[in-house]
Amino acid sequence: MPRISRRARTREREFSVYAIVRCGGRQEKASVDDVLTVDKLAGEVGSSVTLPAVLVIDDDKVISDPAEVGGYQVTAEILGDAAGPKISMIHYKNKTGYRRRLGHRQKYTQVKITGISTAKSGAAKASTGKASTAKASTGKARAASARTTSSTRAASSKKDD
């Protein structure tokens, strides 16, 4: 009987669009209909959450620019809670009779990826426009305050003469 390679035995689903999302300090590969186990999220079963994308692969196009990646939304539905494996710890100090048994079980949330979509490009452009006008207005305010402080210094130096 011929030996079948591991790659041939596992049936990998290939999607044309997938994203690397950040969730709970880790990065996970997410494509539509995947079920991910992530750190505990606040929310009820059936509610929808949006995960921030770090990288998006759309067919042969790789999008890693933060300005472009910000235009993509990865939405997921909370399926329920899960718990990780039990971790047992034993503290022991020699010749003192000190012994402690500790245990920990990490809490997780299972989410199902429902969609990877582009946000409205007009909304993204509008928000960047507002940010640039806010920066410009703060720059004008700084320049005006610098002029007033220099003029008060000049006036106080004239009084001293």
Q: Is the pLDDT assigned to residue 15 strictly greater than 90?
A: no
Higher pLDDT, 93 or 134: 93
Q: What is the pLDDT of residue 147?
A: 52
Average pLDDT over all residues of the chain:
76
> Is the confidence at residue 104, as pLDDT, over 60?
yes
pLDDT higher than threshold 60 for residue 45: yes
- Helix, strand or coil, per DSSP, at residue 43: coil
> CA nearest 49: which of 129, 136, 113?
113
Residue 36 CB coordination number (10 Å): 18
Higher pLDDT, 118 or 140: 118
